[in-house]
């Protein structure tokens, strides 16, 4: 619970209305009731305020909503996120190494870290202050984990990998599985050992059941602030820049380098050994088979400007008709040609 | 083992032949031997009966198969499933909380439930009668699990989520991971806490390594009887209706609402904030980027009637030829135009 | 560490230069320093040798690189893999059944096998000599695991499945989850028990978070030497031949049979109940909806020869323009027709 004033201070906003209101929860505009604060980030939802029961509303400057208690601030969506964090995300308790966790003697665990039952922590691992390791997590030998990290249940970090500070692994994430490398040997294949590592820099988050493969030699690296959704595949020796967003079920093949501030839609794919520049957006299901220059919004296979792709896909259902039309035109053309020859 | 009569009674069928036969196993028509029962659900496989060694056969009414011991019933495929369950699915033993399971003191576990070693069960969890929790399952605080549920090894249910009765989680399923939500904050992103839950209603089954994200606010809900295959991604605040079937590797983005009795093929995708009506079938790899009205069979990107899609894709390999043809026609047209102008 | 001569002997190569050199590590050509060996498998990287600091280089016969210590051998890439294995892959320690592992009394574990804490091994399981079972692995009842297998953390092998020798499961692999089978029953579905098994033959490797479903009846089988990447879905009763390569995120639906020496790109899909011949290559995102004859290189949906597919996809961005062109041509054609009729 917080006073409205306290929340306004938290987000650097100004109050119109009762600064002494008690706020308990954040709620969506059509579900908010007494004691709730809600937000309008998009003007098209403003009309909903007429029927909204929230005790307070976060709004952008220049919008009026008479009769409501308001926090006015530049970025209501960000303010909503910050207030939600403040009001409803409990601090993680510090429990140390709990009974039922198996931690190697040579591991160095900060005393403000928490390791739940069912975890297995290998030799020479270090885990920083305030990090929480949920049940069933397996950390192989020689892993380094920074401060205030959150490793959810059954995430796995294999040997030698390094996580910065405030890294979040959702449940069942796999960091440092072997890259997919085999040398042809007669009819079969000889496994190429994958002796590199994975580095996740500060503030990286990886979604459930996503895999980041260790490098064959050297490292696979995901830079500061980049967020991966669920069920994503990152191949060996890939590098992803800072503050990228990768939506679920996409894949990036080995040795590809991605710039900063890229945003990739769901089920997207990028082939191996490519370079993608900064600020590239690739739509859902887009597929890159060549290098991609910076500052573009692309979709489709092959990648093309998103607007062209929209037009191209809209044409697909018309292909059979186009084909029939062409055959008819060809016939008419032949008739004309015959007619003209006869003349 | 069962007498043929017993099996006929089980499925409401009639016997032609020896009701006292001992039946031990169910087998496919081309592998069945003595003591086995098989089934023919599709007339095109009837001819195989001539070479079949099964002791008995399940058939639909109106089909004759002289010389065989038969169970005649309306739905042989369903009867096969019921008889297979009866003969070959052992009852799950009741073992209580086994040594090596870590269960919080405040958890309420029915005494007919079974919790295997390596499980970790959080505070205030409740688990209903007859439920089986296989090794390595992690159940966070405040989760409710109904009766006769089956949670396979290393499935994960995060805080506050609710499972109805007879819910099945295949191995390594993740229920209640954080939805993928971030508010832009300068060049980077601020994590939007995901404080909602997931509700899986009665008789829902989720396939291996599939993920169902918790809601940002409120709930993600999968309704009674819906079945998800492996490696599927369900975004936050999604709702899926009753008795839907989702084949492997598909994804549904956040806040989308799906009706009842829908069937979605493998690797399919539905964008966020959409509505899909009842009885919609979407073929493998289909992609919905807009709302979908009820009672349709669709495929492709953009979604189109399945038959149109078949024709459209068949045209794709002919595109280069079509393009060349068009250029030739253009030339011929120009020649005709020139010729006519000259005249 | 090894003498250069020792490494040459290992790969059946010949030395040019100092056979007594001490080699410590394998490194990529642009990162190698003193004490490192590198390799050139592709002539286009030869020029990099001028700036390379490696102590030795693996080269194919017929290439000269004066001033370098060389191992000359037929297949430098394979030699690199073998030398990397020799120098940098430590032997796995034999630790027996470690404290914190739960192993059923009836399980038969070779005394040279290692079972880490957090593992749960069911009744009547057998595990062969030299196999290593990393933390958190769950092996259900009646599973057979051969010699020198490597099961990474939290991989799961369900009841009755059989693994040959030298099988590798990357972390969080699921072997033997239920196939996706339901019989329509009124408006809903009745679960078809999946009572078959999975067989992984010798030298099979399965990537992180991949799923191989157990058969409904009978078996799902992956034959000797086949390698699967991460996040792959293999349906029930599928058979995959020897020495196949499946890149990440692909899926093969139930009962399909794949030949030997096939190579499938990422995010590929093959529908159910099909046959694919030997030596078939399917490009990334390719989709098979019918049987595929042996010895082909295919891509696209529908599958077509890879080169045709390249041309077809290159046409896609031009579709809107083609459509407009056609409309113009139609108009011009009409004008000509009118003109001729008038004459």
Residue B334: how many CB atoms within 10 A of its CB?
Answer: 11
As a whole number, mean pLDDT of residues A156-183 equals 98
Label residue C340 by pLDDT band (50, 70, 90).
confident
CB of C154 within 8 Å of any CB in chain B?
A: yes
Which residues of chain C does A300 touch, with a Cβ-Cβ cutoff of 8 Å?
A: 316-317
Give the per-residue pLDDT at C339: 83
Alpha-carbon gap: B248 to the closest alpha carbon of chain A (Å):
12
Which residues of chain A does C330 touch, with a Cβ-Cβ cutoff of 8 Å?
A: 325, 329
Q: Does the pLDDT of residue C336 top 90, yes or no?
A: no
Q: Which of A203, A154, A148, A147 is nearest to A175 (CA)?
A: A154
H-helix or E-strand spanning residue B7:
helix B4-11
DSSP state of A342: H
Enumerate residues 2 to 21 of chain C having a beta carbon within 8 A of any beta carbon in chain A.
none
Alpha-carbon gap: B192 to the closest alpha carbon of chain C (Å):
27
Give the per-residue pLDDT at C343: 66
For C321, nearest residue in chain B (alpha carbons): B323
**Can you tell me the distance from the alpha carbon of C317 to that of A310, in angstroms, rounded to the nearest whole number?**
10
As a whole number, mean pLDDT of residues C288-313 equals 97
Point out the residue among C190, C211, C311 whose CB comes nearest to the CB of B320. C311
Report long-range pairs for C92-101 (Cβ below 8 Å, ≥24 apart): C92/C130, C92/C132, C92/C150, C94/C130, C99/A102, C100/A102, C100/A120, C101/C133
Q: Does the pLDDT of residue B342 top 80, yes or no?
A: no
Pair type for strands A138-139 and A156-157: parallel
Q: Does the pLDDT of residue A343 top 80, yes or no?
A: no
DSSP string, C52-102: ---SEEEE-TT---TTS-EEE-S-HHHHHHHHHHHHH-PPPPP-EE-TT-E
H-helix or E-strand spanning residue C208:
none
**Can you tell me the distance from the alpha carbon of B254 to that of B256, in angstroms, rounded to the nearest whole number?**
6
Residue C60: how many CB atoms within 10 A of its CB?
Answer: 17
Which residues of chain C does B333 touch, with a Cβ-Cβ cutoff of 8 Å?
A: 329, 332-333, 336
Q: Does the pLDDT of residue C142 top 80, yes or no?
A: yes
For the question of residue B25 being annotated catalytic, the response is no
Q: Does the pLDDT of residue B131 top 70, yes or no?
A: yes
Label residue A47 by pLDDT band (50, 70, 90).
confident
CB of C311 within 8 Å of any CB in chain B?
A: yes
As a whole number, mean pLDDT of residues C261-266 equals 98
| pTM greater than the 0.90 cutoff | yes
Which residues of chain A does B195 touch, with a Cβ-Cβ cutoff of 8 Å?
A: 26, 84, 88-89
Beta carbons of B182 and A284 less than 8 Å apart? no
Beta carbons of B314 and C332 less than 8 Å apart? no
Give the per-residue pLDDT at C85: 97
pLDDT top residue among B54 and B340 = B54
Sequence-distant (6+) residues with CB within 8 A of A101 are: A115, A116, A117, A118, A119, A120, A121, A133
The active-site residue out of A236, A261, A273, A306 is A236
CB of C306 within 8 Å of any CB in chain A?
A: no
Point out the residue among B177, B271, B333 whose CB comes nearest to the CB of A230. B177
Cβ(B264)–Cβ(B244) under 8 Å? yes
CB of B272 within 8 Å of any CB in chain C?
A: no
**Can you tell me the distance from the alpha carbon of B91 to that of C7, in angstroms, rounded to the nearest whole number?**
57
Q: Give chain A's mean pLDDT.
A: 96
CB contacts < 8 Å between B and C, how many? 196
Pair type for strands B56-59 and A150-151: unpaired
Helix (H, G, I), strand (E, B) or coil at A303: coil
Point out the residue among C100, C136, C248 whose CB comes nearest to the CB of A233. C248
The active-site residue out of B25, B236, B261, B273 is B236
pLDDT tens track for C40-88 = 988 888 888 888 999 999 999 988 888 899 999 999 999 999 999 999 9
Label residue B46 by pLDDT band (50, 70, 90).
confident
Give the per-residue pLDDT at B257: 98
Q: Does the pLDDT of residue B343 top 70, yes or no?
A: no
As a whole number, mean pLDDT of residues C162-175 equals 98
Q: Give chain B's mean pLDDT.
A: 96
Cβ(A229)–Cβ(A247) under 8 Å? yes
Beta carbons of B325 and A330 less than 8 Å apart? yes
pLDDT top residue among C295 and C66 = C295
Point out the residue among C189, C193, C235 whose CB comes nearest to the CB of B225. C189
CB of B323 within 8 Å of any CB in chain A?
A: no
Give the per-residue pLDDT at B39: 94
What are chain B's partners, defined as 3 or more CB pairs within 8 angstroms? Answer: A, C
Beta carbons of C316 and A312 less than 8 Å apart? yes
Give the per-residue pLDDT at C337: 85
**Can you tell me the distance from the alpha carbon of A141 to that of C96, in angstroms, rounded to the nearest whole number?**
18
> What is the percent of chain C with per-residue pLDDT over 90, rounded to a whole number?
90
**Whole-number Cα distances in Å, C195 to A178, A203, A319, B81, C47:** 32, 45, 46, 11, 58
CB of C339 within 8 Å of any CB in chain A?
A: no
User: At which residue do the structure tokens 């399917």 appear?
Assistant: C282
**Percentages (nearest 5) of helix, strand, coil residues in chain B:** 20, 30, 50
Cα–Cα–Cα angle for A267, A269, A270, rounded to 5 degrees: 160
CB of B154 within 8 Å of any CB in chain C?
A: yes
pLDDT tens track for B304-330 = 999 999 999 999 999 999 999 999 998
Whole-angstrom Cα Rg for chain C: 27
H-helix or E-strand spanning residue C192:
none
pLDDT tens track for A286-325 = 999 999 999 999 999 999 999 999 999 999 999 999 999 9
Q: Does the pLDDT of residue B339 top 90, yes or no?
A: no
């Amino acid at each position: 619970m917080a006073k409205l004033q306290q929340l306004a201070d938290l987000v650097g906003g100004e109050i119109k209305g009762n600064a002494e209101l008690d706020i308990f929860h954040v709620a969506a505009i059509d579900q908010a009731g007494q004691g709730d604060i809600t937000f309008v980030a998009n003007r098209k939802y403003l009309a909903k305020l007429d029927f909204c029961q929230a005790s307070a509303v976060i709004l952008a400057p220049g919008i009026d909503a008479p009769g409501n208690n308001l926090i006015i601030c530049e970025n209501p969506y960000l303010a909503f996120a910050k207030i939600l964090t403040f009001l409803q995300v409990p601090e993680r308790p510090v429990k140390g190494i709990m009974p039922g966790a198996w931690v190697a003697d040579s591991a160095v665990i900060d005393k403000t870290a928490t390791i739940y039952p069912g975890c297995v922590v290998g030799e020479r691992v270090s885990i920083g202050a305030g990090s929480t390791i949920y049940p069933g997590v397996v950390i192989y030998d020689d892993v380094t984990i920074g401060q205030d990290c959150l490793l959810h249940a059954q995430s796995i970090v294999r040997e030698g990998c390094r996580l910065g500070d405030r890294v979040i692994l959702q449940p069942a994430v796999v960091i440092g599985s072997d890259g997919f490398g085999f040398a042809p040997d007669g009819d079969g294949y000889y496994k190429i050992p994958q002796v590199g590592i994975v580095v996740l820099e500060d503030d990286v988050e990886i979604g459930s059941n996503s895999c980041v493969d260790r490098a064959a030699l050297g490292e696979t690296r995901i830079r500061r602030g980049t967020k991966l959704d669920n069920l994503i595949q990152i191949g060996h020796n890939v590098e992803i820049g800072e503050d990228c967003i990768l939506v679920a079920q996409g894949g990036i093949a080995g040795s590809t380098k991605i710039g900063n501030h890229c945003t990739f839609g769901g089920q997207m794919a990028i082939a191996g050994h490519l370079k993608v520049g900064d600020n590239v957006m690739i739509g859902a299901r887009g597929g890159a088979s060549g290098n991609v220059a910076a500052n573009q919004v692309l979709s489709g296979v092959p990648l093309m400007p998103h607007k062209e792709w929209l037009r191209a896909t809209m044409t697909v259902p018309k292909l059979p008709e186009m084909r029939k039309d062409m055959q008819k035109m060809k016939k008419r053309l032949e008739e004309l040609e015959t007619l003209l020859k006869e003349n």
